Amino acid sequence: MGEGYLAMSEHELGRRRFLKGAAAGLGAVAVGDRAWSQGELPLIGSSKADYSGPNVIIVRFGGGVRRQETILDPPNTYSPFFLHDLAKRGTLYTNMMISQLEGVETNHGQGTLYILTGKYDKFKDVGGKFLGERFEAQVPTIFEYLRKSFNVPEHQTLIVNGEDRTDEEFYSFSNHHAFGASYRSNVLSLYRFKIYLLRRQIAEGNLDEKAFKQKSAELAKNEALDYRVKDASAQSPEITAFWERWRRFYGDSGFVNPRGDRLLTELTLRAMKELRPKMLMVNYNDPDYVHWGNASHYTRGISIIDQGLQQLFAAVEADEAYRDNTVFVIVPDCGRDSNRARSVPFQHHSNTRSSHEIFALFVGTGIAKGQVIDREVNQISIAGTVGQIIGTETAHTEGPVLDEVFA
């Protein structure tokens, strides 16, 4: 897809270049409020500057949610912490849209990549699977920008994923020639744990022949899913140690740990304690269970995310290194339809206006408090805005920076 996919006015382009210049300057001279004196300017290129800007936690309010059940009806919202508490501490965009241009889909994988890359693109499942979401981004993810600009190890850039979304395991880096696997983020999910566990069980040598064969086959099958990088699922020593502790705590069965989005919250809380991520994305997903059930699955999913948000926010407040040094960005992957004629009135594949209507909240260090912005903005503005927050240029994002967020 060409550069002009999202038509941008001359004015907007000019403004964007200006903001980018400002962001690049910020990265080189004053990284996260820290002024560098002339003699100790961080070298760009051979040795990268350490990252000392705010930590960024991106929360995908995911599985597709509508404004109706979240922000439009305050007395009846299913996300009371988000709307009545968190929103007041930050800048809420009530009219964020996913573009209605042809080819821009309102689906989980696509929305996640629009958030991560700041660009709309027509994604095709690499295996040609119908409704498959095995996509490869052509332009860098926000994680790659961070790791290319700053000295941040792989295990401190994390995506926390749902257990039955293996397609989404592979959004951790793009195919862009100047970025890609060397700057990837790491994924925490039960899929990754399973690979770790199978390898350990095989290596420990306590299996009988039948179990050995069965587990070897299962491991080979799981490893084969990760086709882009040789041995890509070999995670760094820090991540392996993380899984070792997880296994000691929850055991091998997979039945003891929390499931669904509660599991994602648990993984995130542990990761914050043990891995100290600088940038993390939690891909919540439970509201999407409405595809297979009744409406209460959907609204309960929203409440579980709301409780997760409350826990994550409390963890940040309780941790000296994160408190006053963290920005939350909370945004749905997509909306859902409003089709009263259907038994389940809110799917998200009909391309209705409602499935394009989302919202976004920025809250934390350096973010303006108590602001509600109702002008129409775009989901692809998230990545460039995060770029500005971390102080790095994002050359391939197409959405204008949301400059109201800066206090």
Select from 148-156, 213-221, 281-289, 393-401 the region that touches Zn ion (CB under 5 A). Answer: 281-289
Residues 6+ apart with CB under 8 A from 202: 212, 215, 216, 219
Instruction: State in angstroms the smallest separation of the CB of 163 from Zn ion.
Output: 15
Select from 184-192, 265-273, 280-288, 335-343 the region that touches Zn ion (CB under 5 A). Answer: 280-288
**What is the total count of residues that contact Zn ion (CB under 5 A)?**
1
Q: Give residues 245-274 in contact with Zn ion (rule: CB under 5 A).
A: none
The answer to whether residues 124 and 135 touch, using CB atoms and an 8 Å cutoff, is yes
Q: Give residues 322-381 in contact with Zn ion (rule: CB under 5 A).
A: none
Between 108 and 278, name the residue whose CB sits nearer to Zn ion: 108
CA distances from 386 to 279, 287, 328, 348 (A): 10, 25, 10, 27
Give phi and psi for 109, each to the nearest 5.
-65, -45
For 150, the enclosing helix (H) or strand (E) is strand 150-151
DSSP classification of residue 285: -
The answer to whether residues 186 and 159 touch, using CB atoms and an 8 Å cutoff, is yes
Residues 6+ apart with CB under 8 A from 242: 155, 188, 270, 271, 274, 275
Phi-psi region of 103 (alpha: psi -120 to 50; beta: other; left: phi over 0): left
Instruction: State in angstroms the smallest separation of the CB of 261 from Zn ion.
Output: 14
Between 15 and 297, name the residue whose CB sits nearer to Zn ion: 297
Between 226 and 288, name the residue whose CB sits nearer to Zn ion: 288
Q: Which residue is nearest to Zn ion (CB)?
A: 288
Instruction: State in angstroms the smallest separation of the CB of 291 from Zn ion.
Output: 5
Instruction: State in angstroms the smallest separation of the CB of 288 from Zn ion.
Output: 4
Instruction: State in angstroms the smallest separation of the CB of 79 from Zn ion.
Output: 18
Between 355 and 385, name the residue whose CB sits nearer to Zn ion: 355
Single out the residue of 61, 118, 44, 79 nearest to residue 383, CA to CA: 118
Between 266 and 288, name the residue whose CB sits nearer to Zn ion: 288
Residue 288 in contact with Zn ion, rule: CB under 5 A: yes
List of residues contacting Zn ion (CB under 5 A): 288
